[in-house]
Amino acid sequence: MSWRTIHIKESEYIRLKLDNIEIAKEGEKYYVPLSDIAIIILEGNDTVITTKLLSAFSKHNIIVIICDDKYLPTGMYMGYGNYHRSAKRVQQQVIWAEEQKDLIWQYIIKQKISNQIAFASYRDIPQERLEMMIEFYSKVIPGDKNNREGHAAKVYFNSIYGSDFTRDDYCLENISMNFGYAIIRSAIARIVTGQGLMTMIGVFHCNEYNSFNLVDDLMEPFRPLMDYWIHKHIIGKSEYLSYESRLKIIDFINQPIKYKATKSTVDQVMLKYVTSFVKSMETSDPEVLHEIQLSDFMEEEV
């Protein structure tokens, strides 16, 4: 299983060398086996990349994330149709029943809110606000048609970052979360396509302009884990999202997390989570979906 996340900053070029990626930087050349790589993150405006290497990335199911001048991810390149039964998976997706999708979305959102409650509790927010979030959690219905997710998110962010905080503010917290969520999104996208699923066919997200509706569905429970990681390792350590901070956020997916009483890593649990999602949709049983818990991550994080 590929496991490496490669961060390439201000390289002259990257190209294919046998079954390795060759990275040229500051007069030196570095080599990494393609079979080891899961994600590549590119920063800088002058890196040259060959189409032959892009083709190799596709065949090895390697995600390439492109960052802008502010070091925020703005684009993603990934392979297509490499799963051996992609057509069957897509046919299954197309016929998912609305009732089936509503039930799985209820499970996903309850996991997300539960993790938000865990992080909010860790941050010692006022008890009455915790109770509000717990109330929202208990009222999530199939399809979250009463939008308990939105209500819980407002209480969550305002309790942690202040009553005037919005996700549109230009601040280190938002910049860090945007970067971190993009890393989660890319990792989930790689797994989703690797399982032969169409990223644009979601269970809740259905924006016709969004090519990653399903990915945006499945990443939801992992967001509070990233919030915790950012709080522990980024906020208060620097006034801006430094190079070292970006590397720390990227390293999130390599961190240990408990999975069914055994130690795993975040990226491995993501794979198991997506696999359980596929099984839950095939069996119409939302309870098959693996539960992602912040406590399992906090317990292993050092």
pLDDT tens for the chain, 302 residues long, are 577 899 999 899 999 999 999 999 988 999 999 999 989 999 988 899 999 999 999 989 899 999 998 888 888 888 776 666 777 778 888 889 999 999 999 999 999 999 999 999 999 999 999 999 999 999 999 999 999 999 999 999 999 999 899 999 999 999 999 999 999 999 999 999 888 898 999 999 998 888 899 999 999 999 999 999 999 999 988 889 999 999 999 999 999 999 887 899 999 999 999 999 999 998 889 899 999 999 999 986 65
Q: Which residues contact 51 (CB under 8 A, 6 or more apart)?
A: none
What residue ranges define each of the domains in the chain, with the CATH number in brackets?
A: 4-77 (3.100.10.20), 86-111+169-300 (1.20.120.920)
- Asked if residue 73 lies in contact with residue 50, where contact means CB atoms within 8 angstroms, the answer is no
At residue 259, the pLDDT reads 85
C-alpha closest to that of 149 among 123, 120, 121, 111: 111
Looking at residue 48, its pLDDT comes to: 92
- In this structure, what are the phi and psi dihedrals at residue 238, rounded to the nearest 5 degrees? -155, 160
Nearest alpha carbon to residue 52 among 94, 18, 90, 24 = 18
Q: What is the Cα–Cα distance from 156 to 97, expressed in whole angstroms?
A: 32
Q: In what order do the strands lie in the sheet with 13-17?
A: 28-33, 20-25, 13-17, 48-49
CA-to-CA dists, residue 92 to 17, 131, 149, 296, angstroms: 39, 40, 27, 32
Residue 241 DSSP one-character state: -
pLDDT at 118: 97
Q: What angle do CA 55, 58, 64 make, to 5 degrees?
A: 100
- pLDDT score recorded for residue 302: 55
Q: What are phi and psi of 22, to 5 degrees?
A: -105, 125
Question: What is the pLDDT, as a whole number, of residue 82?
Answer: 67
Identify the CA nearest to 43 among candidates 255, 278, 250. Answer: 250
Widest pairwise Cα distance in the chain: 60
Task: Give the separation between CA 150 and CA 156, rounded to whole angstroms.
Answer: 10
